[in-house]
Structure 1
Amino acid sequence: MSAGLASVRRVIERWNRDQVLALAPDASSQKAAQGVSSPGKWSNAGVTAEAVWGECKGSGSKPYRACVDLSGPAYRCSCPSRKFPCKHALGLLLLWSADGVPDADAPADWVAEWLDQRRVRAERPAPAPRTAAGAAPDPKRAEQREQRVAAGLEELERWLADQVRQGVAGSRRHDHWDGLVKRLVDAQAPGVAGTVSRLGAVLGGEDWPARLLSEYALLHLLVVAHRREPPAPAVRGRVGFQTSREEVLAGETVRDLWDVLGRRDEEQDRLISRRVWLRGRASGRAALVLSFAPVGQALDASLVTGTTVDAELAFYPGSAPLRALVADRHGAVPATVPPGSALERALEEVAAALAGDPWTDSWPLVLDAVAPMRDGNGSWLLGGPDGGLPLHPSAGAPWRLVAASGGRPLTVAAEWTPQGLRPLSMWDEEGQVMVL
Structure 2
Amino acid sequence: MIDPEIIERLAADQASLRAGVGLAKPAKWSALGSGADVALIWGECAGSGARPYRVTADLRDMGNKCTCPSRKFPCKHVIGLLCLKAEDRAPFPPADVPDWVSDWLSRRRPKATPPVRTGPAPDLQAARATQEPEAADPKAEARRIATAAKREAETTQGVRDALDVLDQWIGDQLRLGLATFMGDLMTRCRQVAARLVDGKAVALARRVDEMPARILALPAGERMRVAVIELGRLVQITCAFRAAPDQPEIRRLVCTAESRESVLAHPDTVHLNTEWEVLAEQQQAQRDRLVAHVVWLLNLGTDGPRFALLLDFSHGATRRGAQFRPGERFRGTVAFYPARIPLRGILLGREPMPDGARAEWPPCGQPPLEAINQTLLAEPWRLEVPLMLPEGRLMRDGAGQHWWRATDGTLALPVISDVKGAWCGTDLTCAVAIWSDHRLELLAAQSAWGRLGHG
TM-score, L = length of structure 2: 0.60
Partner of 1:57: none
Q: Are 1:141 and 2:151 counterparts? A: yes
> What is the 5 A alignment of 1:261-410?
261-268=279-286, 269-281=288-300, 282-283=302-303, 285-299=306-320, 301-333=322-354, 334-341=357-364, 345-375=367-397, 378-385=400-407, 386-393=409-416, 395-402=417-424, 406-410=425-429
Q: Kindly state the Cα deviation for residue 194 of structure 1 after the two structures are TM-superposed.
A: 1.1
Of 426, 435, 438, 1:416 maps to 435
Amino acid at match of 2:274: D
Give aligned pairs, total: 297
* CA distance, structure 2, for counterparts of residue 415 and residue 430 of structure 1: 22
Give me the whole-angstrom Cα distance separating, in 1, the residues matched to 2:321 and 2:361. 23
User: CA deviation digits over 1:207-247, x for unaligned, max 9?
Assistant: 32222111111111111111114554322211114321111
Amino acid at match of 1:156: L
CA 1:337–1:376: 2 relative to 1, 3 Å: farther
Question: For each residue in 1:333-363, what CA deviation from the matched residue of structure 2 results, as whole angstroms up to 9, or x when unmatched?
Answer: 4344423426x62322222221221111112
- CA deviations on 1:171-209 (whole Å, 9 max, x unpaired) are 212212222111110000011111211222214522322
Structural mapping, 1:41-60, within 5 Å:
none
CA RMSD of aligned residues (A): 2.4
User: Which of 257, 260, 276 lines up with 1:245 in the alignment?
Assistant: 260
| In structure 2, C-alpha distance between the alignment counterparts of 1:416 and 1:192, rounded to whole Å | 21
1:372 touches 1:398 (CA, 8 Å); kept in 2? Answer: no
User: How many angstroms apart in 2 are the aligned matches of 1:309 and 1:418?
Assistant: 31
Alpha-carbon shift at residue 422 of structure 1 (Å): 0.8
Residues 166 and 141 of structure 1: is their aligned pair in 2 closer, same or farther, counting only changes over 3 Å?
same
Q: Is the 8 A contact 2:383 2:436 kept in 1?
A: yes
User: Which range is displaced more, 406-415 or 280-289?
Assistant: 406-415
Deviations along 1:96-143, one digit per CA (max 9) or x if unpaired, are: xxxxxxxxxxxxxxxxxxxxxxxxxxxxxxxxxxxxxxx756222211
Separation in structure 1 between the aligned mates of residue 179 and residue 444 of structure 2, nearest angstrom: 39
CA 1:241–1:294: 2 relative to 1, 3 Å:
closer
* Sequence identity percentage: 27
Partner letter of residue 248 of structure 2? P
Distance in 2 (CA, whole Å) between partners of 1:432 and 1:212 is 36
Q: Which residue of structure 2 aligns with residue 206 of structure 1?
A: 221
1:428 equivalent in structure 2: 447
Match of 2:47 in 1: none
Structure 1 residue aligned with 2:67: none
CA contact (8 A) 2:245 2:251 kept: no
Aligned to 1:399, the other structure's residue is in SS state coil
Q: Which consecutive unaligned segments of at least 5 residues does structure 1 have? A: 1-134
Question: SS at the partner of 2:371?
Answer: helix
- The CA deviation string for residues 36-88 of structure 1, in whole angstroms up to 9 with x for no partner, is xxxxxxxxxxxxxxxxxxxxxxxxxxxxxxxxxxxxxxxxxxxxxxxxxxxxx
Choose from 164, 176, 179 the match for 2:191: 179
**Does the CA contact (< 8 Å) of 2:385 and 2:436 recur in 1?**
yes
Q: 1:170 aligns with which of 154, 158, 180?
A: 180
Please state whether the residue corresponding to 1:302 is helix, strand or coil: coil
Question: Residues 277 and 297 of structure 2 are in contact (CA less than 8 Å); yes or no, is this contact kept in structure 1?
Answer: yes
Deviations 1:276-307 (A, max 9, x none): 11121222521100122222434363332112
Cα 1:188–1:314 change in 2 (3 A) is: same
